[in-house]
A and B are shown apart, each in its own frame.
Chain A
Amino acid sequence: MIIRRDVFQAIADPTRRQIIDLLAQESLNVNAIAEKFDVSRQAVSVHVKILAECGLLVIRQEGRERYCEARLGKLSEVASWATQYKKFWEGRFGALDRYLDTVKPQKSKNGKSTKSR
């Protein structure tokens, strides 16, 4: 099994979504985040680590404290499964266009278009 580390993995978990919401307002250290949840500090640490690996937060060392800062730009990558499939199919249609050109070289190349809604 591959371990995904992308924005989709980051937001797959409700606790991680709440952590992102918290950090969007202010930078916090792991203890301060843990205080806001009913889960253990260790569990929060794991979520923070995953969020960092997914690029949604950075950990900044300040004296003895490690502060988590949100990096929300990545969230724009989030979309539904439908958008992911749409990307997949549009890529596949391009490949099928190229394949059909090889089996039907006599056909003209005009008029290719993709539209979606």
Chain B
Amino acid sequence: MEKVQSPAEAGLQEVWITHVFNADPETVFRAWTDPQQLAHWYAPDGCTIVFKKADIRKGGRYHSCIHNPVHGDCWCKGTYLELDAPRKLVFTAEVTDEHGNDVDPVTAGMPADWPAKTVVTLQFKPLGIQTEMTLHQTVAASLAKFTGAFPSWIEMFNRLNQQL
């Protein structure tokens, strides 16, 4: 059953962050798409990250483990939906286990409203010698609804074009 959310609640269910990095978009994009570079910075402080699988291309999948010396291992998997170097990167982040199974977030110790699957969209814009990067993260289900609207618009425009 779909939960009706107030706009304020819906707003709480998305992440929007903009950050300026001191490097050109190519360099920043590579740091996000090269597993060896990701290992240098992607794990939280004091943790390490290991990629069991990192097939970083459109449709490719990854399976990673962040090891926390206190809280143990945290497995994540996902699919790269879009790679448009050095402008845009879209991937999913899903709660999983060592074997890549789907895991219910509550079973993994997350709060009850924790989404099993989110979609992360990164956009990189040159800003002089720097890069302005925008991160948007949302629950996969809401994005599916959103993108589901697009094909119908395109169809409508196509029909309109044919008529003109």
Contacts and interface: CB of A to CB of B under 8 A. Distances in A.
Interface in A63-106: 79-83, 85-86, 88-93, 95-104
| Leading 6 A-B pairs by shortest Cβ distance | A99-B41, A95-B41, A4-B109, A116-B17, A80-B12, A8-B111
Contact of B135 (A8, A89, A95, A108): A89
Interface of B: 12-23, 27-28, 31, 37, 40-42, 44-45, 71-72, 106-115, 118, 129-130, 133, 135, 137
A42 interface: no
Contact of B41 (A2, A90, A98): A98
B14 A82 contact: yes
A70 B108 CA distance: 27
B40 A99 contact: yes
Interface of A: 1-4, 8-9, 11-13, 79-83, 85-86, 88-93, 95-104, 107-109, 111-117
B19 A100 contact: no
Given A8-B110, A81-B115, A85-B15, A92 B28 contact: no
A107 B113 CA distance: 42
Contacts of A80: 12-13, 113
30 contacts: A1-B108, A1-B109, A9-B111, A13-B112, A81-B110, A81-B115, A82-B13, A82-B137, A85-B137, A89-B17, A92-B41, A92-B42, A93-B19, A93-B133, A95-B41, A96-B28, A96-B41, A97-B22, A98-B41, A99-B31, A99-B41, A100-B31, A101-B22, A103-B23, A111-B130, A112-B20, A112-B21, A114-B20, A116-B16, A116-B18
A91 B45 contact: yes
Given A12-B112, A86-B17, A114-B20, 11 more contacts: A8-B111, A79-B12, A82-B12, A83-B12, A95-B42, A96-B21, A96-B31, A100-B23, A100-B31, A111-B20, A114-B18
